[in-house]
Structure 1
Amino acid sequence: MARTVVKLGSSVVAENDGTLRAEVIARICTALADRHAAGDDVVLVTSGAIARGMRIMDLPVRPTAIEDLQAASAVGQGKLYRVYDELLRERDVTTAQVLLTFFDMSARLHYLNARQTLRKLLEWRVLPVINENDTTTTDEISFGDNDFLAAQVAVLVGADELVLCTDIEGLFTANPRIDPDASLVREVADVADLEALSIGHETSALGSGGMRSKVVAAEMATAAGIPTTICSGILPGALEAVLSGEGAGTRFAARPARYSSFKLWLKYAKPTRGTVVIDDGAARALRDGAASLLPVGVVAVQGSFDAGDAVEIVTRAGEPVGKGISTFSRDELAAVAGEKTATVRERLGGAADEAVHRDYLVLG
Structure 2
Amino acid sequence: MTPASPLPFAEQPLPAWRRAVLKVGSSLLAGEGEGLSPRHALNLAQFVSSSIAAGREVVIVSSGAVAAGRGLLHRKPQAGAAMAERQALAALGQAQLIALWQRFFDRPVAQVLLTHDDLRNRRRYLNARATLQELLALGALPVVNENDTVSVDELKLGDNDNLAAVVAALVDADALFIATDIDGFYTANPRTQVGAQPILDVEALTPEFFAMAGGAGSGVGTGGMHTKLEAAAKAAAAGIETFLFNGTQAGTVSALARGALIGTRFRPAQNRLAARKYWLRNVPVEAGAIVVDAGAANAMGQKGASLLPGGVTTAEGDFRRGDMVELVLRDDAGERRIARGVSQYSAVDIRRIARRHSREIEGILGYTYGENVVHRDDLVLL
TM-score bracket, shorter-length normalisation: 0.5 to 0.7
Q: Quote the residue 1:28 is aligned against.
A: 44
1:23-46: CA deviations, max 9, x gaps?
211221122111111211011110
Q: Which portions of structure 1, spanning 4 or more consecutive aligned residues, are displaced by more than 6 angstroms?
A: 263-267
Q: Quote the residue 2:62 is aligned against.
A: 46
In the superposition, relative to structure 1, how do residues 145 and 14 fare at CA in structure 2: closer, same or farther (>3 Å)?
farther
Counterpart pick for 2:252 among 229, 238, 258: 238
Q: Quote the residue 2:224 is aligned against.
A: 210
Q: How large is the RMSD of aligned CA atoms in angstroms?
A: 2.3
8 Å CA contact 2:98–2:109 kept in 1: the answer is: no
8 Å CA contact 1:5–1:42 kept in 2: the answer is: yes
Deviation at 1:266?
7.5
CA distance in 2, matches of 1:181, 1:140: 36
Q: Quote the residue 1:163 is aligned against.
A: 177
1:284-303 correspondence to structure 2 within 5 Å? none
8 Å CA contact 2:29–2:36 kept in 1: the answer is: yes
Counterpart pick for 2:123 among 109, 113, 117: 109
Deviation at 1:131?
0.6
8 Å CA contact 2:210–2:226 kept in 1: the answer is: no
Counterpart pick for 1:220 among 231, 234, 237: 234
Deviation at 1:194?
3.6
Supply the AA of the counterpart residue of 1:108: R
Number of aligned residue pairs? 264
1:259-312: CA deviations, max 9, x gaps?
548569979xxxxxxxxxxxxxxxxxxxxxxxxxxxxxxxxxxxxxxxxxxxxx
In the superposition, relative to structure 1, how do residues 181 and 33 fare at CA in structure 2: closer, same or farther (>3 Å)?
same
TM-score (norm 1): 0.68
Is residue 77 from structure 1 mapped to residue 100 from structure 2 by the alignment? no
1:346-357 correspondence to structure 2 within 5 Å? none
Deviation at 1:82?
0.8
CA distance in 2, matches of 1:208, 1:265: 34
Of structures 1 and 2, the one scoring higher in RCO (CA 8 A, sep 6+) is 2
Q: Any stretches of 5+ residues in structure 2 without a counterpart?
A: 1-16, 285-382
Supply the AA of the counterpart residue of 1:168: I
Is residue 3 from structure 1 mapped to residue 52 from structure 2 by the alignment? no
CA distance in 2, matches of 1:263, 1:172: 35
CA distance in 1, matches of 2:99, 2:281: 33
Supply the AA of the counterpart residue of 1:64: A
Identity among equivalent positions (%) equals: 39
CA distance in 2, matches of 1:42, 1:221: 16
Q: Quote the residue 1:127 is aligned against.
A: 141
Q: Any stretches of 5+ residues in structure 1 without a counterpart?
A: 268-364
CA distance in 2, matches of 1:137, 1:266: 27
Deviation at 1:203?
3.9
CA distance in 2, matches of 1:41, 1:73: 27
Deviation at 1:59?
1.0
8 Å CA contact 1:61–1:205 kept in 2: the answer is: yes
